[in-house]
Structure 1
Amino acid sequence: MLKKIVLVLVALLAAFAIYVALQPSDYRVERTVTVDAPASEVFANVNDFHKWESWSPWAKIDPNAKIAFEGPEAGEGTVMTWDGNDDVGAGKMTLIESKPDEAVKIKVEFTRPFEGSTNSDFSFAPNGEQTDVTWTLSGMHNFVEKAFCLVMNGLDMMGSDLEKGLSQLKSASERS
């Protein structure tokens, strides 16, 4: 009887491993919000990492996180590093492309609790007196990350974070 249970468990684990392996490695999560402010106002809040504390969905999770900035005040080449509790981990964001009032592209590298990277891209499109802001996370998942996303609905979690951040960015930009 124990042998049958073990064989069933091994078969289930093998089936799960095959299912995970067959999932696409690339991912893309995208959300959009309309902000009642000009593109220049919203762009300024994203292009300057010093302003992220007012709207980032992760900024308030660990108020004791160590944040440091390198390079220019804003725009291409600016860098922000963070080192916080287990909920925010540690890593580095590098602004790699900045097109005023149009787009911001950021390379995010995580060092703790796991190593990995993602692309974090923002686009700003005028919509009358308003601005449509689209935030996209994209990259490649390894086997463990694919399994996590399947078990924990990781892409839905990322989408929820983007929605929260865009809502807070909308509030911060409309106050300015």
Structure 2
Amino acid sequence: MLKTIALAIVAAIAALLIFAATRPDNFRVERTARINAPAEKIFPLIDDFHRWGTWSPYEKLDPDMQRSFGGSASGKGATYAWESKGKAGAGRMEITESTPASKVAIKLDFTQPMEGHNVAEFTLQPQEGATQVTWSMHGPSPYIAKLMGIFFNMDQMIGKDFEAGLANLKTATEK
């Protein structure tokens, strides 16, 4: 009887591991908000890492987080690195594309709690006196992320942060 239970457990674990291997090799999370402000007012808050404290939900994860800025003051070439002993982990961002009042693309490298290399993009599209702002992140999904994705819905987890950040941008720019 114990052999049967042990074999069933081993088979279940093997099935889970095989199923994880069949999941997509890439991921994408995206959220959009309509902000009643011109793109020219929203864009500087995204294009300048020094101003992310105004709206980014990640800036509030750890009040003791160590931050460093480099490269350009804003726009292409601007860098931002952070290190936290708390929930924020550690990593580095670099703006790789900056099209005024239209798009910001960021190379996003996480080093802790686990390594990851992704791209974050912000697009701003004028719409009848407002701006549609889309925040997305995409990148490779290594095996461990595929396995974790079986138990945790990463789109919902990251998506909630994006929704909060977009709501903060809305509050900051609709004044």
Tell me how far apart the structure 1 counterparts of residues 75 and 66 of structure 2 sit (CA, whole Å). Answer: 21
Partner Cα separation in structure 2 for residue 150 and residue 48 of structure 1: 36
Partner of 1:51: 51
How many corresponding residue pairs?
175
Partner of 2:19: 19
1:92 aligns with 2:78: no
Q: Structure 1 stretch 142-151 or stretch 100-109: which is displaced more?
A: 142-151
Amino acid at match of 2:50: H
What is the CA deviation profile of residues 31-78 of structure 1, one whole-angstrom value per residue up to 9, with x for unaligned ones? 100111100111111000001011101111101000110011100000
Tell me if the contact between 2:61 and 2:86 (Cα under 8 Å) persists in the aligned partners.
no
Give the equivalent residue in structure 2 for 1:2.
Answer: 2
Paired position in structure 1 for 2:113: 113
Alignment TM-score, normalising by the size of structure 1: 0.97
Which of structure 1's runs of 4+ aligned residues deviate more than 3 A?
none
2: CA distance, partners of 1:143 / 1:86: 25
Tell me, which stretches of 5 or more residues in structure 2 are unaligned? none
Partner of 1:29: 29
Matches of 2:59 and 2:86 in 1, distance apart? 14
Structure 1, unmatched stretches of 5+, are: none
CA contact (8 A) 1:86 1:113 kept: no
- C-alpha offsets along residues 92-144 of structure 1, whole Å, 9 cap, x if unaligned? 00000000011000011001111111110000000121100001111111010
Q: Indicate the SS of the match to 1:86.
A: coil
1:149 paired to 2:149: yes
Residue 166 of structure 1 is matched in structure 2 by 166
